[in-house]
Amino acid sequence: MKNPVSRREFLAGAGAVGSLLLVGCDADAYLPPKVRGGLMGVSDVLTMATQRLMLSGQPLAQEHDVSEITKNFPTWGNTNPRQEDFQSLLSGEFVDWRLPVGGLVNRPISLSLEDLKSLPQRTQITMHICEQGWSAIGQWTGAPLLEVLRAAGGVTDEARYVVVDTFDGWYEGYDMFDVVHPQTILAYGLNGKDLPLGNGAPVRLRVERYCGYKNLKFLKSINVVSSMDGIGRGTGGINSDSNWHWYAGA
Ligand SMILES: Nc1nc2c(c(=O)[nH]1)N[C@H]1C(S)=C(S)[C@@H](COP(=O)(O)O)O[C@H]1N2
Ligand SMILES: [Mo]
């Protein structure tokens, strides 16, 4: 007679199937906000679906040892937004900086740097991979985005994307799969010090499973939405608006 499946085997199997179902039920987790036409669109969807299946158990991106930290973490792209509102906050050492968290949350809030630092924090030593051909390892400290949304009373049932805006006019939308990941943090520290200006002071996003351009610097606001339609060109972010991949898994 065939052995009945042990309880442990059953649970392990149920867990694996369950985590696939979790992604599987939510077809959105396989698709970018807007699917491009032609072969690029096909490859976008295949890449995203494959990676999302592989990542369905939400594993952590590799974390490194302190000894591997890059001595001078490079600065890249915009290193000092010239916008007046940013310059005035900078000259006041960001004492007046506030991060509004609104849209489809239950209790919109506006967080000071102190407020953000009082939330549960996470420190992670990870590799930043820029799509333009360089990488570096840094130790980031910040508040998980999930904790920030919790502080805003959580999101409503319609919530599908978190849109991050920056002082230099960038924006990106992230779907809930990446939003709830434990390594998705609003970082205010690099290598044990305040986040330097060139690296996105006072606060930048770290989404460790994505390449460089999704890791927005100089955060200005956070907005939870049900759709990316009507935001920029509707593709889900400033980079995909100019034909980079929206799903930019590193
Ligand atoms: N607001 C904003 N965020 C940004 C950029 C930018 O120009 N503006 N550049 C992106 C790119 S392409 C990279 S590689 C990283 C660079 O981060 P670093 O300056 O800390 O190296 O920031 C990303 N986030
Ligand atoms: Mo980049």
pTM: 0.90
CA–centroid distance, 218 to ligand 2, in Å, is: 15
Instruction: Give the single-character DSSP code of 38.
Output: H
Best mutation site among 70, 140, 217 for ligand 1, i.e. most ligand atoms within 8 A of its Cβ? 217
What are the residues facing 162 on neighbouring strands?
Answer: 174, 224
What are the residues facing 222 on neighbouring strands?
Answer: 101, 164
Residues 22-81 have pLDDT tens digits of 444 466 788 999 999 999 999 999 999 999 999 999 999 999 999 999 999 999 999 999
Ligand 1 residue neighbourhood (C-beta within 6 Å) = 74-78, 130, 166, 168, 170, 198-200, 212-213, 215-218
Confidence check: pLDDT of 21 > 90: no
User: Which residue type occupies 10?
Assistant: F
Regarding beta strands 185-190 and 204-206, do their DSSP bridges make them parallel or antiparallel, or are they unpaired? antiparallel
Supply the mean pLDDT for the chain: 91
Measured between alpha carbons, how far is 86 from 58 in angstroms, rounded to an integer?
35
Chain center to CA of 221:
14
What's the pLDDT score for residue 22? 45
- Torsion on CA atoms 55, 164, 235, 47, rounded to nearest 10: -20
* Nearest Cα residue to atom 24 of ligand 1: 216
Residues 81-106 have pLDDT tens digits of 999 999 999 999 999 999 999 999 99
Would residue 94 be called left, alpha or beta, if left means φ above 0 and alpha means ψ between -120 and 50 degrees?
A: left
Measured between alpha carbons, how far is 248 from 172 in angstroms, rounded to an integer?
11
Confidence check: pLDDT of 199 > 60: yes
* Nearest Cα residue to atom 8 of ligand 1: 78
- Among 182, 157, 172, smallest CA distance to 246 is for 172
* Nearest Cα residue to atom 10 of ligand 1: 213
C-alpha dist (Å) from residue 249 to 26, 88, 111, 129, 213: 19, 35, 29, 10, 11
* Nearest Cα residue to atom 2 of ligand 1: 217
Residues 161-190 have pLDDT tens digits of 999 999 999 999 999 999 999 999 999 999
Measured between alpha carbons, how far is 159 from 67 in angstroms, rounded to an integer?
40
CA–centroid distance, 16 to ligand 1, in Å, is: 36
